[in-house]
Amino acid sequence: MKELVEYVVRQLIDHPDELRLTEIEGARTVVYELRCHPEDVGKVIGKNGKTVGALRTLLSSVASKQNRRAMLEIVE
Amino acid sequence: MSNQPSMAEYVESAQAILCELLRLLEFNDATLESSVEDGQIFFQIVTAEAGRLIGRTSQTLDAIQFLLNRLLSRQYEVSPYCVVDAEQYRARRREKLLADTAAALERVRLNGRPWRMQPLNAMERRLIHQALRDCPDVRTHSEDEDSDGRKRVVISLVETPAEPEPEEMADAQPAEENPRTPETPESI
């Protein structure tokens, strides 16, 4: 799942070397905290949060296959 | 202009992104078929997990399509639009929405009251606006978002000020000689 977020986000942003993605594993849940260059935050979020919304939808799809929940937070 | 990539190159790039997305989404058995129509690229995905791929009210399929188009547009200055489908979901959904729209149109013409469609996403609302564009006796508009951020299309009769509004329309006999529908096209 981490690879999925990285694959998509890396291509959207202008400063891929400043992308930090941390994975916090729980029993049934996993939380991804995403940090990136301030100029790239908007690109990751997208208009009306559409891009990050689509990413969360895809994360949920993979997580459900593993009977888990996945969350994606953008940390500023 | 002279160095614009060929359609085959766009298809190849889009297919590479989509294959990678499907791999990362763990659709290990997925196979792809692509076609080009009216300048758009269509992908039909075949997998045993079509239910998970489409998602509730096609939200997963729509998310894949949205991100595919975002990623493709990052590679080129201009790029064709990609449509992602599985089990002919898009075609079936389109037929269903057009049937709902035809039923709603009939209803509005019969009782004269505006009809609110179910909440739909932007692509689906567009389909309905387009379908009713050539019906001069009705107009469509999209309502503001409700508290859940969903929007509905409202179909209403075009105001005809010359005609006084009849008092009790609820029990009036339908269709025949309806003064507000001078022409009643059967199809939309």
CATH number at residue B140: 3.30.1370.50
d(CA B70, CA B75): 9
The DSSP H or E segment spanning B84 is: strand B82-86
Instruction: Please tell me if residue A45 touches chain B, with a CB cutoff of 8 Å.
Output: no
The answer as to whether B122 is a domain residue is yes
Is residue B14 domain-resident? yes
Helices B7-24 and B59-75 pack at an angle, to 10 degrees, of: 130
The one-letter amino acid at A36: C
Per-residue pLDDT tens digits for B32-88: 999 999 999 999 999 999 999 999 989 999 999 999 999 999 999 999 999 999 999
CATH number, domain containing residue B56: 3.30.300.20
The answer, as to whether pTM is greater than 0.90, is: no
Q: Give CA torsion, residues B173, B175, B176, B182, to 10 deg.
A: 130
Q: Compute CA distances B176 → B80, B105, B109, B180, whole Å.
A: 47, 16, 11, 11
Q: Is the ipTM of this complex over 0.90?
A: yes
Is residue B163 assigned to a domain?
A: no
Cβ of A7 within 8 Å of Cβ of B24? The answer is: yes
Q: Judge: A55–B67 Cβ closer than 8 Å, yes or no.
A: yes
B184–chain A nearest CA distance, Å: 40
Which domain, by its residues, includes B130?
Answer: 94-157
pLDDT at B168: 53
Report residue B120 as tokens.
Answer: 């739909």
* Cβ atoms of A58 and B67 closer than 8 Å: yes
